[in-house]
Amino acid sequence: MFQDKEMVNDYLAGLNASLTGYAHIIAQTNNSELRQTLIQMRNQDESRQRTLYSYALQKGHYKPAAPASEEVVQQLRTELMAEQQNN
C-alpha cells in the first residue's frame, strides 16, 4: 500500500509531466477555442501542483534546494531578458 509521501510524490510527478505536455501542445495549437481550453486546463493543473507542493513541503515530503543568492537570481534574470530581446 502506498504511503502518503509516495502518493504525493507520484501525483506531483504526474502534474509536472502534464504541465510540460500542455506547454508543447498550447504552443502548437491553431484553434483559438481549443487553445483557451488547454490554457485553462494548464492553469488548473498549475494550481493543483502548487497546492500539493505546499502540502509536501509542510509534511516534510519534499526538501527544496537551497535558495539562490540575489546575485545569481539577478544574473539569470539579466541573461534571460537579453536572450528574449535577441529573439
Stretch (H or E) spanning 86: helix 70-86
pLDDT for res 87? 73
Residue 27 CA to residue 29 CA, distance in Å, equals 6
Question: Which domain covers residue 70, as residue numbers?
Answer: 1-85
Read off the pTM: 0.71
pLDDT for res 1? 54
Q: Does residue 2 surpass a pLDDT of 90?
A: no
Instruction: Compute the C-alpha angle 66/11/49, nearest 5°.
Output: 60
Helix 32-59 with 4-28: angle, nearest 10 deg: 160
Per the prediction, the chain carries an average pLDDT of: 92
Q: What is the mean pLDDT of residues 40-68?
A: 93
Q: Domain count of the chain?
A: 1
Q: Does residue 28 surpass a pLDDT of 90?
A: yes
